[in-house]
Structure 1
Amino acid sequence: MRKHLKIVEDNKASQGIRLANYIIDLIALVIINFFLSLISIILYNLTSKSFFFYFYNNNSFLWEYLMGIIVATLYYFLFENFSNGRTLGKLITNTKVLSIDGSKPSMTQILYRSFCRIVPFNAVSFLGYNGWHDSWTETRVINIRKYNEAVNAKMEIDNIGVKEIA
């Protein structure tokens, strides 16, 4: 069980910012899927033998849903794991994912966050108090500027009365 820091809760990103993150990431996913479809069409036309490329482009709802889940899970995992808790949407809105104890989320937490997005209606769960993928993984999306200001203010208060050595 992680220690729940008030400073993390106090600096959570607003619902409007979370919605902007979702829309930006959704646009990025549509673009990625468009290019994957384009590549698969080209490869299928060149080889006309591949089972995968045929199903990727034959408008099968189940196949499109499965591929969408795989691409989205990889997108969120790779971005949040290798971009310090940030996706394209979070980069643009200056937000990021933190553990509730204020530390960088572990790879396991980010992997779980990515898999939690498969749950139906998870995408709009952030309209409540916390999104399901935040609550289930003990993470929060925070406003970086406000969080850093709060951390600096706390450090300054903690340093009052500490003798400076030149």
Structure 2
Amino acid sequence: MRKHLKIIEMNRATGGQRFANYLIDLLALFALNFVISLASMFLYEMTSAYFFYFYNNGGMVWEFLSGYVISTVYYFMWEYFSNGRTLGKIVTGTRAVSIDGEDASTTQIWYRSLCRLIPFNAFSFLGENGWHDTLSQTRVIDIKKYLADRQIKEEIEAIGTKEIA
């Protein structure tokens, strides 16, 4: 069980920041899907491989399946390689961290990415925490506020200790 730090809860991202994260990442996913669709049309014309034709003409089930795969990979890759951040989080100055204040682990990032497939998960952040936060034991924090509070805490803890020059 992870220790739940109060400083993490005090510096959670606002609902507005979370909504902006969602919109920015959604636009990025639309752009990514557009690029993949164009590439598959081009590759179909060049190779006549049916898979590339199927990507753009596979029907509604295929669209949902490919959309789920693309979005899961998008969120996992961004948060894994950008230290808990997606394109939306970079723009808004937020970051996903573990509830114990550490960087989110690979497993937690994987859970966050998979939990986004839960229907209506996108609206769950309007409550206390999003389902993908609760189930993965992570929180999205405002980086500037968190670092300022952490610095204050460290300075208070350093009172009375001897400085070594």
Does residue 78 (structure 1) correspond to residue 87 (structure 2)? The answer is no
List gaps (5 residues or longer) in structure 2.
Answer: none
How far off is 1:46 after superposition? 1.5
- Count of residues in correspondence between the two structures: 165
Q: Which whole-Å CA distance do the structure 2 matches of 1:145 and 1:57 have between them?
A: 42
Alignment root-mean-square deviation, CA: 0.8
Aligned AA for 1:27? L
1:15-43 superposed Cα distances (whole Å, 9 cap, x missing partner) = 00000000000000000000000000011
TM-score w.r.t. length of structure 1: 0.97
How far off is 1:152 after superposition? 0.2
SS, match of residue 90 in structure 2: helix
SS, match of residue 136 in structure 1: helix
Aligned AA for 2:76? F
2:13 corresponding residue in structure 1: 13
SS, match of residue 96 in structure 2: strand
1:51-66 superposed matches below 5 A? 51-58=50-57, 60-66=59-65
Q: Which whole-Å CA distance do the structure 2 matches of 1:51 and 1:165 have between them?
A: 70
Aligned AA for 2:120? F
Q: Which whole-Å CA distance do the structure 2 matches of 1:52 and 1:69 have between them?
A: 18
How far off is 1:117 after superposition? 0.6
1:93 corresponding residue in structure 2: 92
List gaps (5 residues or longer) in structure 1.
Answer: none
SS, match of residue 97 in structure 2: strand
Give percent identity, aligned residues only: 59
SS, match of residue 97 in structure 1: strand
Q: Which whole-Å CA distance do the structure 1 matches of 2:20 and 2:133 have between them?
A: 17
1:88-127 superposed matches below 5 A? 88-127=87-126
1:27 corresponding residue in structure 2: 27
1:63-110 superposed Cα distances (whole Å, 9 cap, x missing partner) = 111111011000000000010100000000010000000000110100
1:4 corresponding residue in structure 2: 4
TM-score w.r.t. length of structure 2: 0.98
How far off is 1:59 after superposition? 5.5
How far off is 1:51 after superposition? 2.9
How far off is 1:52 after superposition? 1.8
1:46 corresponding residue in structure 2: 46
1:126-163 superposed Cα distances (whole Å, 9 cap, x missing partner) = 00100000000000000000000000000010011111
How far off is 1:124 after superposition? 1.0
Aligned AA for 1:20? A
SS, match of residue 52 in structure 2: helix
